Amino acid sequence: MLIWGVDNVRETAMKVAYIMRGLPGSGKTTIARAVAGSNGVIHSTDDYFYVDGEYRFVGEKVKEYHALNRQAFADSIARGKEIVVCDNTNVKNAHWEPYAKIAREAGYLVAVVTMPHPTLEEALARNTHNAPACDIRHMMDEWEN
């Protein structure tokens, strides 16, 4: 796991925003839960795809749900939550940078956590949303360091 982006330490009480990055099945959500602990809040676009407790991905809703998730993240930052986590794949830098900007502007320490890539086989076996191989392969191909 690579953590970087810790660039704005303040002398005041420490508030931290963790920006998770990783392929499906990489362990993002497990680490997100660990860093959030009992005092933090986790924001994941995947949460918007649950209907009656069942994950139902709808491609046409991706943009809308990402916007809702980013706004919820910003709301947690505005409320001054001590630990705020963005738990998305964040394949491209443009996906996670708006979250980091929101947090930095509010005086948060920003830690970008990049999970090691699993193999395609591991990702297929471990991802909890049954993402198909073609989607995971596409994310692998599009990944930006």
CATH number at residue 83: 3.40.50.300
Beta strand pairing status for 2-4 and 16-21? unpaired
Task: Record the pTM.
Answer: 0.89
Q: Model confidence at 9, in pLDDT bands (50, 70, 90)?
A: very low
Residues 6 or more apart whose Cβ sits within 8 Å of residue 114:
1, 2, 3, 4, 21, 22
The pLDDT of residue 5 is above 70 = no
**How many domains, in total, are found in the chain?**
1
The pLDDT of residue 117 is above 50 = yes
54-89 per-residue burial string, b: 16 or more CB within 10 A, e: under 16: eeeeeeeeeeebeeebbebbbebbeeebebbbbbbb
